[in-house]
Amino acid sequence: MNLFEWSPQLPAKVIDLQRPGAALQLSEQYSPGRVGVLASIVAHAIKLGAGMAVIEYRYIDRDYRSENSQFYSKSFRRYPSVTHRIHFFAGRPPPELYREDVAMSFEGLDYLGFSVLRPVVGARVGRTMLRPESHLSDYVSCVADEQVSIFGSEYTVRAAPFMAQDAQFSVCAHTAAWLTAYYHHLKFGAQRLVPADIVAAVPSEEGGLGRPTPSGGLLFSQLAAVMQRTGLPPLVYPIDELDDESIESIACRYLNSGFPVIVAAAEHSFVLVGYRRVYRSLRGARIQFIRQDDEVGVYQLVENPGTDIYHPWSHLIVPLPEKLYTPGERAEAVGADRLRRELATRKDDAAARELYADIRSGKVKFRSTAVLSNRFKRDLADRGMPADVATQYRRLQMPRWIWVIEAVSRRERDRGQPCVLAEAIIDSTDEARDRRVLVWRVPGLLRHWDPDYDLVGDYEVTEKVPPLKSVMQVSGKLT
């Protein structure tokens, strides 16, 4: 497709993907002879059940415009300033599409998502929002909603953002930073950053000797500094230094909370957007991560970090909202300690005694999730909390972000049942050297530490609280 063919005098074209060879032709049309990211995107759409693709011409994409104005417009080869956007729908094209006397409407179709295509032969895939496959959708925790308008019809797609690097203006590290920033924008209202903003935020003083554009790559420290400068200061975990923690324990806390985790590996970086527990009869469970790999495609399963194609993983970089000071593992250590001490004193309560014994024997584990306190309060009833206890919780003043440390029955968790038996709430902005727990609940008791008066308040829970759904299952999802 040359420069002139890129802008036909048509608003769009519809492709019946269920016709033999249509999907292959779609990838070939844009990336002739290349088995690359676009082919993987089209294959993913087909797996989602796509029967129709609508190619929207002359789509002005904010991200590509920034690449074009800062880079492509400066080259001798001419590049259009507009993109194509492919929308994927489940089901075949409606019959009225083939009639000239009826104007086809895009209302009421099953929308799967879109992919923006750059007018750059070697780097077609731009901003992409495509649903995960149904068997993975419960495990992709970093999904956000995007509103899409297609010729006046409004749709919403819930997905983890994706973009392929163009290997010139942006490489994997820029793309990982963009993806994370775009996700935080959609989900938490962080600022909207385009690739040019990411490139401009790369600090030269961090020691990178290469030219900023075309970029040959970024140093790990430059990537961390980019996140800092773009309003998502990251926590950085050197994997070799983790001691009592592991890649899984660190990453899962943030993924539970809906925060993508950037992995810096051997000369490549990618973004983890979810995980699932895979059970093996004799060897117990193991974690499979789900990643957005800008050189491969969306929702790629990572069988094992230790044998991954990008092995060894070197660092985990977790960009976070500014007001989330406390690392997850610190919150978990403090919250779990409070719950243990509380249970140890409640020897008269049979349920508390049993829970204490189960924690000591490993039948009950701790799970940590950072969540907006408003969302935590809103979802208490949906998680199964009795109305009276929920009311007491809701009237407590809390910071914007809290860490919820849950005591989780492993057996119930593995059976997919409500599994939370107790919890502790940590103020995410709390002092590092005066560790406190804001609220904690154990069988028979809800306690609150009032930071203004330095008093501890008790509320006796007379009603039996059943195991609750985890906060990550309910409050972590957008509603």
Partner 1 sequence: MGEGIKVQRKLKRRKKRQVLPPEELEIPLRTRFVYRDPSDVPGFEPDPKADSAIDARLQKIDQYHRRAQVESKNLYLA
Is the Cβ–Cβ distance between 39 and 86 less than 8 Å? no
> What is residue 91's DSSP assignment?
B
Among 260, 297, 327, 443, binds partner 1 (CB under 8 A): 327
**C-beta of 130 vs 437, nearer to partner 1:** 437
> According to CB under 8 A, which one of 17, 48, 52, 235 is a site residue for partner 1?
235
Minimum CB distance to partner 1, residue 453 (Å): 7
The separation between CA 307 and the C-alpha centre of its own chain, rounded to angstroms, equals 23
Q: What residues contact 35, with CB distance under 8 A and at least 6 apart? A: none
Phi, psi torsion values for 231, nearest 5 degrees:
90, 10
The smaller minimum CB distance to partner 1, of residues 114 and 237, is found at: 237
Query: One symbol per residue from 295 to 324: x for binding partner 1 (CB under 8 A), - otherwise; what is it?
Result: -------------------xx---------
Phi-psi region of 225 (alpha: psi -120 to 50; beta: other; left: phi over 0): alpha
Looking at residue 335, what DSSP letter applies?
H
The span of 24-32, 99-107, 334-342, 403-411 binding partner 1 (CB under 8 A) equals 334-342
Instruction: Please work out, in degrees rounded to the nearest 5, the angle formed at the alpha carbon of residue 79 by the alpha carbons of 73 and 82.
Output: 100
Checking phi first, is residue 242 left (phi over 0); if not, alpha (psi -120 to 50) or beta? alpha
334 touching partner 1, by CB under 8 A: yes
N-term to C-term CA, the chain: 41
Kindly indicate which of the ranges 110-118, 143-151, 326-334, 402-410 contains the residues binding partner 1, using the contact rule CB under 8 A: 326-334
Output the six-digit token pair for 291.
């990643």
- Site mask for partner 1 (CB under 8 A), range 340-359, x = bound: xxx-xx--------------
Residue 449 CB, shortest distance to partner 1, in Å, is 7
Q: Which is nearer to partner 1, 327 or 418 (CB)?
A: 327
Cα gap 65→61, rounded to integer Å:
6
Question: x/- site string to partner 1, residues 112 to 141, per CB under 8 A?
Answer: ------------------------------
CB 87 within 8 A of CB 53: yes
Closer residue to partner 1 in complex, CB, 6/220: 220
Binding mask 246-275 for partner 1 (x = CB under 8 A): ------------------x--xxx------
Q: Binding residues for partner 1, how many (CB under 8 A)?
A: 54
Structural tokens at position 72 = 């492509």
Q: Rounded to an integer, what distance in angstroms lies between the CA atom of residue 46 and that of residue 35?
A: 16
Given the rule CB under 8 A, which of 2-10, 150-158, 298-306, 332-340 is the region that contacts partner 1? 332-340
Whether 402 and 371 have beta carbons less than 8 Å apart is answered as yes
Nearer to partner 1, 339 or 468 (CB): 339
Burial 311-341 (b: 16+ CB within 10 A, else e): eebbbbbbbbbeebbbbbbbbbbbbbebbbe
Q: Any contact of residue 373 with partner 1 (CB under 8 A)?
A: no
| 392 binds partner 1 per the rule CB under 8 A | yes
Applying the rule CB under 8 A, the residues between 205 and 224 that interact with partner 1 are 206-207, 216-221, 223
- The C-alpha angle with vertex 392 and arms to 446 and 409, in degrees rounded to 5, equals 45
**CA angle at 381 for the pair 378 and 383, rounded to the nearest 5°:** 100
Minimum CB distance to partner 1, residue 348 (Å): 11
Q: By CB under 8 A, tell whether 360 contacts partner 1.
A: no
Q: Is 168 in the site for partner 1 (CB under 8 A)?
A: no
CB of 464 to partner 1, least distance (A): 18
Site string for partner 1, 419-458 (x = CB under 8 A): -------------x--x----------xxxxx--xxxxxx
Q: Which of 100, 101, 205, 241 binds partner 1 (CB under 8 A)?
A: 241
Contact between 45 and 64 (Cβ < 8 Å): no
SS3 252: helix
Cβ-proximal residues to 187 (8 Å cutoff; 6+ apart), any chain: 142, 144, 258, 478
Interface with partner 1 (CB under 8 A) = 171-173, 206-207, 216-221, 223, 235-238, 241-244, 264, 267-269, 314-315, 327, 329-330, 333-334, 337, 340-342, 344-345, 392, 395-396, 432, 435, 446-450, 453-459
